[in-house]
Amino acid sequence: MSIKIAQISPIEESVPPKKYGGTERIVAALCNGLVKKGVEVTLFASKDSKTVANLFPLVSKSLRKIKECQDQKIREVYKYLAMIETSKAVLDNKFDLIHNHTNWRFLPFSSFIKTQILSTLHGPLNIAYQKLVYKKFKDIFYGVPFDKQRSRGLAIQRIVWGSTGTKNPKYSDTLYVDEIIGPDTINTLPMNTLEAFLDHGKVDLTLERDLNEAQQTVANLSMFGIDLNELTDQLQKEGVQAFVKAYDQLIDSLRVKCQIS
C-alpha cells in the first residue's frame, strides 16, 4: 500500500503558475517528485492546475483570474471557503501526511484533524513585517506624535530599505522592490536588481496593500513557535557585528597602507 499525502496549495495562482508564483512552483515540483517515487498525492488547488497528482479543485480557477477577487474582502472569503472545503476533504480521506503550503490559513482547522500536518512557511514574513514597519512609520510621522514638528515644516524622516536584492533564486528577482513601494521611502538596489526592475519591474503603491493579511501573518507566528522579537534582536546583533567586522578590516587595511607609504 502506497503512502497517501495531501498537498494543500494557495489558490492565488494555478499549480504550476503561468507567470510568477514561487510557492505554487514548489508545490508542483513536490507533487511531480513524490508521484515518481510511487506516493499517492492529492493536490488541493485551483481547477486550472495541471498535475500528475489527483487534483481536488477548490475554486474554478486561480483567484487572480476571477474579476470579483480584485476586492480584498471577497478574495479573503474565497480563501476561507477553500480551507473549509479542504478540511472536510482531509477528514473524509485517510491521509498519512498533510503538507500545508497556505501558511497560517489552514492552522485553525488543524485542531480537529488527527493526521500529522507539516506546514511550510514560504517566505511571507519579510514583506509582511516591512508593511507593519511602514504602518508604524505613518502612525508616528503622520499622526499625533509628529503633529507639532510637521506644522512647523519639519521634513519627514524617510524609511530606507537597504540593499534589496533577492538572494533566494526561487523568488522573483524584483520581489523586494515591487512589494515595498510607497511614499517617503528610499530603496537602495544592487545593480543587478536595478537592471531587472528597469526591465520587468512593476511600479505601483504596494506597501499598504493587503495590510490585514500582513498583520495576520505576523500575529500567527506564535503558532509555529516563532518569537519575532527574539528573531529580530538576533538579526540586529548579527547585522551590527557584520558592520563592526567590516569597519575593523577597513581600518587594518588603512594601517597597513600607511606603514607601507
How do the domains of the chain map onto residue ranges? 4-119, 125-226, 229-261
Using left for φ > 0, alpha for ψ between -120 and 50, and beta otherwise, residue 61 falls in beta
Fold of 4-119: Rossmann fold (3.40.50)
Give residue 96's pLDDT band: very low, low, confident or very high (50, 70, 90): very high
Indicate if the pLDDT at residue 73 is higher than 60: yes
Indicate if the pLDDT at residue 140 is higher than 60: yes
Rounded to an integer, what distance in angstroms lies between the CA atom of residue 195 and that of residue 197? 5
In whole angstroms, what separates CA 42 from the centre of its chain? 24
The rounded percent of the chain whose pLDDT value lies above 70 is 94
**What confidence score (pLDDT) does residue 163 get?**
77
Q: How many CB atoms lie within 10 A of CB 123?
A: 15
SS3 assignment, position 185: strand
Q: How confident is the model over 28-53, as pLDDT tens digits?
A: 989 999 999 899 999 999 999 999 99
Task: Give whichever of 80-84, 146-150, 217-221 has the largest mean pLDDT.
Answer: 80-84
Picking from 2-11, 66-75, 165-174, 196-205, which range would have the lowest pLDDT averaged per residue?
165-174
Per the CB < 8 A criterion, the answer to whether 204 and 179 are in contact is no
pTM: 0.57
Indicate if the pLDDT at residue 94 is higher than 90: no
**What confidence score (pLDDT) does residue 197 get?**
93
Strand segments, DSSP code E, in 3-155 are 4-8, 40-46, 54-59, 97-100, 117-119
Rounded to an integer, what distance in angstroms lies between the CA atom of residue 123 and that of residue 129? 11
Using left for φ > 0, alpha for ψ between -120 and 50, and beta otherwise, residue 184 falls in left
The answer to whether the Cα torsion of 235, 240, 243, 249 is positive or negative is: negative
The rounded percent of the chain whose pLDDT value lies above 90 is 34
